[in-house]
Amino acid sequence: MPTCPLTQNYIVKDCLDVAGVASWYITPFSNMLTAVPTANVITAITKTVAFKTIAQEIEQGNWTYTGAGASVNGSYAYDWQATIKMLGLNTLDQEELTLILKNKCVLIAVMQNGDAWMLGREFGSSGIDTSFNSGTALGDMIGTDLVIKGRAKSAAKKVDPTILAGLLTP
């Protein structure tokens, strides 16, 4: 079994940062032709059509990934999940949710601090669930929780924010 030498020490960070997703970029996996990493940051993306965006209310959406290695079978993988809150109810949103459900997707989470992270670069999503809630009381949430899940060979990759605007053009 080959050895995997570690490359750095972990240092406690002195400055704090804000958490939370500000918006999402989403596209079918078949649309993304390449996502080129340079020093572990995606610096170029080629696509066949424009990405779409999903705005996110503050402190609503999130994403996670977990890595698991099994020395018994000699493998590892990363599982990721994005939870997107889509507030309100209208016909166009319901149709768009149906289209998302029919696709394997790639996501980019744009964080409140401006950083962007790509999920699904290698294989796209492997599962998509939606759950609509009409609310009970007048002040309850009305809308859809969209949960997109996937598996990858590598951890989420940071995306150079200077390329995001170009993703919205055909």
Residue 40 lies in a domain: yes
The pair of three-digit structure tokens given for residue 41, joined into one six-digit string: 């940051």
For residue 143, the enclosing domain spans 21-167
1 found inside a domain: no
Q: How far is CA 22 from the centre of its chain?
A: 12
- What phi and psi values does residue 70 have, to the nearest 5 degrees? -125, 105
Q: What pLDDT band is residue 23 in, cutting at 50, 70 and 90?
A: very high
Q: Within a domain: residue 33?
A: yes
24 pLDDT more than 90: yes
Structure confidence by residue, pLDDT tens digits, 34-56: 999 999 999 999 999 999 999 98
Instruction: Pick 5 or 119 by higher pLDDT.
Output: 119
pLDDT of residue 2: 61
Q: How many domains is the chain partitioned into structurally? A: 1
15 part of a folded domain: no
Residues 44 and 167: their CA atoms lie apart, in Å, by: 10
Q: Determine, yes or no, domain membership for 6.
A: no
Phi, psi at 105, each rounded to 5°: -120, 160
SS3 call for 146: strand
Instruction: Look up the pTM and report it.
Output: 0.87
Average pLDDT score over the chain: 90
